Chain A
Amino acid sequence: MRPEELRPRQAGSAIAPESLEELAGEGAGSMSVIGRRNRKVDGAGKVTGATVYTDDMALPGMLHGKILRSPHPHANILSIDTTRAEALPGVHAVLTGREMPVTYCVIPWTRDEYPLCVDRVRYIGDGVAAVAAVDEDTANRALRLIDVEYELLEPILEPERALDADAPQIHEAGKPGRNGNITKHVHLEFGDVDAALADSDVVVEDEYFFQGSSHTPIEPHCAIGLYDATGKLTVWSATQVPHYLHRELARVLDLDVARIRVVQPAVGGAFGGKSEPFDLEFCVAALSRKCGRPVKILYTREEVFYAHRGRHPMKMKYRTGASRDGRIRAVDGKLLLDGGAYASFGLVTAYYSGQLLTAPYKFDTYRFDSTRVYTNKPACGPKRGHGSVQPRFAFEVQLDQVAERLGIDPMELRRRNFIGERTRTINELRVTSNGFLQCLDAVERSSAWSDKFRRMPFGRGVGVAGSCYISGTNYPIYPNEMPQAAVQIQIERSGRVAVFTGASEIGQGSNSMVAYIAAEELGVPLEYVRVHSTDSDMTPVDLGAYSSRETFMVGNACLMAASDLRKRITAVIANEWDTAAAQVGLAAGWAFDLSDTERRIPISEAFNIAEAKLGTLAAVGHYNTPKDVHGEYRGGTIGASPAYSFTAHVAEVDVDVETGVVDVRKIWIAHDCGRALNPVLVEGQMEGSAYMGFGEALMEEQVFKDADHGRAGLHNAPSLLDYRIPTSMDTPELESLIIESLDPEGPYGAKEAGEGPLHPSIPAIANAIYDAIGVRMNAMPFSPPNVWRALQAGGAREAWERARRDMKRTEVAAD
C-alpha cells in the first residue's frame, strides 16, 4: 500500500504528514483525532438512505406478525378462542399468553409483565395474542377473528386513587396487607431536615406537576425472530439493550442463553424508549419457534405510544430552606410517580427522582419521599434524563423562587451554592470533575444575562437553570462483578482496524466514539477503522445504551484495548529504530519518530513489522466501575456514577400576553462533558437535548381520556399529528457552549453529553416566563391555553412589577 492511500481524505480528520511535527508536541494539541470535528462513521449511510434498519430486512420465507391488543383499561381475560384465526388461509401460527406464562422485567426484582397477558389486561393496548401470517393484511384479518371474553374491572387513572385502601389492585401485593398498587416507596433523609428548615431565614414551599412525555423516536420498534432447524434462535431488534433482551429471551422462552443470538441493527432513535424487552421481541421468537419461519413485527406508531415507557408524570411538593445569604439549608421533597400498568424501570425511577438532585448545589440537609404507583395506562419508564428531569424542573423553579424571596440574582444564588469538585454530595455520591461554575459563566456571558434579567419590558424575559447527570451507573441491572463494558480490537495486515463492541449505537454516536479512540491510539486514518457492534455472536457483552454510560465505560474499555496494542507496536518499532517506545508516534497513517518526524513509515508497514515479531495483533479491553463511591445505606448505590456531567441553560422568551403563546427566542446551553471527543457530536447532543426539553415544556401533552370524555384510559393522541413535537419551524435558536473539565477517570477526560443537557431546558423556560410576565408555570406544559389561563387568574403584572422592585432594592443595597 502506498502511503498516500493511507492519508485521510476527510476534511475534519486531515492531518498531513507535514503536520506530524504538530502532533509530536505536548498536550491536547498533540491528538490527531480526539477533540477534532470528525464525521460520524455511519453518517453517510444515513444521509444517503443506505443504512439498513430492522424493518429494511427481509429474510427468505419471512412472515409478518401482529399483536391483538386489549380495548379495555382493566379487565380479566375469561377466555381466548383462536380457532377462527387459525383456520384463516395464510395464517401460520397464533400465540397466546398461556404459551409463555413467564413474567419478565428489565429490573429483576420487579418482574410483573407477561409477553402476552395471561389472565388480566391492565391498559388499553396491552398485548393479548399474536399471529404470524403471509402478509400484514392477513395477519390483521386474523386478529379480528380471535375471540376474547373479558370481565371488566374498575380502572385506576389517577395515582392518588391507586393509594386508596379500597382501590382495586392492579397487581397482587408482594406481601399480605401491602398495597399492590405501589411499585416502590423510597424515603431517605440526610441530616436533620426539620431542624434546618426551622432554622432557615426563608422557606419556600410549592407544588409542581410534570405531565410526562413520550420519546417519539422516528423508527417504531421492530423485531425479527428466526428459530432455525438446529434449534438456534436469532432475534434482530431495534433495541438499545440487546444484552438484557438476550437474557430475558432465554428466561421467558426457556432456552439456553448460548442458543440465542441477538443482533441490534441500526436504530432510528430510542431516547430510552427501547431500553427494555418488549412484547414483540418475545412474540417474533415464539411465533418463529412455532411455525419454523422467520417472523417480523413492526409496531404501528399507535403501538409505540402504547408500549410507551416514557417519562413518569410526577406530582411534586418541595420545601427549600435557605439562609439570608442564599445558602441552601434544607430541601424536602415529596413525589408521587404515576407509573402506568407495569414496573418497567420504576424501582430505579423512584430512587433517581430523589438521589440525583444533590448536585451541583450543596445541600446542608435533604429528604425525599418518592412513591411510584401503578395506574391503568401505558407503562412509564426511562426517557432521556431518567427520573431526574421532573424533580429538576420543580427544584430549579423553586430555586428561582428562593432567589426572588431573598432578592438575589438567581445566577448568583446558584454560584453561592456550588458544591465544588472532588467532593461528596449530601447523599454521599462521589463527585470528581465539576465544571458547573464555568457553565454558569458561559451562559451568563453569552446571553448578556445582566443586561436582560428583570430589565426587559413586560412580555420578555430570561431564565436560568442548572443540573447534573450521571455518566453511567456503578452497578449493573443484574448483580454481577464482571466488567460493565468490553471491547475487542483486531488489526488486519492492510492497516485496517476492526473494533468489536457490544455498545448500542442508537444515533448518539457510540460506533463513532470507539472509532475515534481506536484511530487516535493506533494512528490509522478514521476510515480505516471498521466498527462491528451489537451482535452477541461476535461482540463482547455490553450492558446497553442507557444512563449515558457508553462514552465513559465503553470508551475506557476501547482505550484499554487500543493503548495495549499501541504499546506493543511502538515497542517493536522503537526496537527497530533503536529508540525508546515513548519516542514512537502513531498518527494519521504513519509511525514516526517524535524527535525526527522525517523518520517515518506507513502505519501498515509498522503493523506488519509488529505482527511478524509478536504474532496476530489483537487486544481486549474492559472497564468496570469503582465500587466505593456511594453511601452505605439501602439504595445508596442507585444514582452512584463514576463521574457526573454538569449543565446550565439560559432561555430567553417572548410571551404574547393576549394569546399565551410563548416564543422561545434562544436557549444558551453550557455543558461540562469532561472532554469533547468530537465537539460536533457533543454539540449535536446538546442541541438535541435542549430541543427535546423545549418540546416537552411547550407542546407535548401526555393525556388520556376519562369516563366523561369517551373512554377512561384511552390515549388522547397516539399519533405524530396529535402528539405534538416541535417541527423545524418551532425550534428556537440554540447555542452550545462546551465546557471541558477533564475528568480524571473518563477516557481522555470525557464524561456524558447525551442526557444531562436536557435537564435545565424546562425550568429555564419556566423561569424566563416568570421574568417576562410574572406568572409561575409550576405545571407543564406551558402551552398557550395554560399560560393564558395563568394570566387570566390575575396578579401577573403586579408580581412582575414587584419582582423588579425587589431586584432594584437589592442592587441599591449592594451598592
Chain B
Amino acid sequence: MVNVTLDHVTKIFGKVRAVDNVSLKIKHGEFMVLLGPSGCGKTTTLRLIAGLEKPTSGRILFNEEDVTYLPPRARNISMVFQSYAVWPHMTVYENIAFPLKIKKYNEEEIRRRVKWAAELLKIEELLNRYPHQLSGGQRQRVAVARAIVVEPRVLLMDEPLSNLDAVLRVRMRSELKKLQRQIKVTTIYVTHDQVEAMTMGDRIAVMNEGKIMQVGVPREVYYRPANTFVAGFIGSPQMNFIEVTVKTEGEKIVLDAGSFNVPPPKGYDRVLDKYLGKTLILGIRPEHIYVGDYVPSNVKVVTLNGKVDFIETLGSDTILHIGVDDTIIIVKVPGEVHVRVGDNVKIHLNEDAIRLFDKHTGKAIT
C-alpha cells in the first residue's frame, strides 16, 4: 500500500520555476498520468519523485514517510526511461537481474523472478542477448521487465512509448495498462500524448508551466475541462474557442458572438447574471457539432448557418472548417460527408457540450 503525496513542491533551475507549488495525491495502485506540453515540468516532477532531483521547497511523502531528501536507491522505486536506459554491456538477463542482485536476493530467487518478469513481457527467448541485438520494442520490454522485477513501491514511467513506431505504441499502450492492473503497483506515467493519457490513466494531472491545471478522471478532463488550457490541450482537433459578450435581449440573456447569438446553454442561465456586459470564451469540441439536416432527436442544439471553407478527409473522420461570418468553426464528423468547399451548410452545436470560460483567468464558469 503506497500513496504518493506531493506537498507544495517547487523546483527552481536558475531562474526557471520548472515545478511551481505542485500538490498532488496519488492513491495506492493508481495509474496517474502527468500530461502536458514539453517543458511543462512533468518530467521534472517525475524526477523529483524518483529522487534524481531535490526540490527547492515542499515535501514528497510515500504514505507517511518523508522521502524528500532520500537518494533514489533508498526509495524502493523503479523507473522506465524514455531512452529505455537498458545497459548495453549486460545481457537482457543481467539487466533484469541487476536490481535483484543489488538488493541481495539469492541466486534461485533471482532466477525465478527474472523468469516471471520475462514471461510477463514475452521476452523469455531474448534473455541471453545483448541490447544492441534487440529492436526498440524489445528493448522497451526489457526496461519494463527490469522495472517490475523488484516489485517496487512506485513505478515511474517517463514517456516510455514515445520512441516506438505507431503500431507498436498502440499495442504497448494496452499491454502496459493490463500489466499495471495485474501487478497493482502505484504508477506515475509522464506523457505529452493526450491519447495515451486518456486511454491509460485512472486519473490525469494536466500540467502547464510548472503548475497543475486540472486533476481528474479522463472523462472529467475531457467533458469538464477546468480552464481553457486543458480544454485546448485535450481533444483533437482542438476545441473551438469563440469570444462572446453576455447581453440581455428583452427578458432573456444571450451570448453575442458578433454576427450570431447563442442562447445560454443549460445550467448556465442562472450564473450568467454576474457576467452581464462581460466577454467570455465559448468552447465547443469539433465532435460535438452536427452538420446538415440530421440531428439526434434527444439533443438540444444551437443552429448556425455557415459556409464550407476547407475540408480535411481523414478516412474515418472528416474535418470541416466552416465559416460563420468571419469566425471559423472546426467540425469533426464521422465518415464521409458530401459537401464541397463553398457550400452553404447548417451546423448544430450540442448545447450540453458548450463550456464557458472567463476570458481573463481562463477558468471555467460553472
Asked if chains A and B come from one complex, the reply is no
Query: Which residues does A use to contact B, with CB under 8 Å?
Result: none
Query: Which residues does B use to contact A, with CB under 8 Å?
Result: none
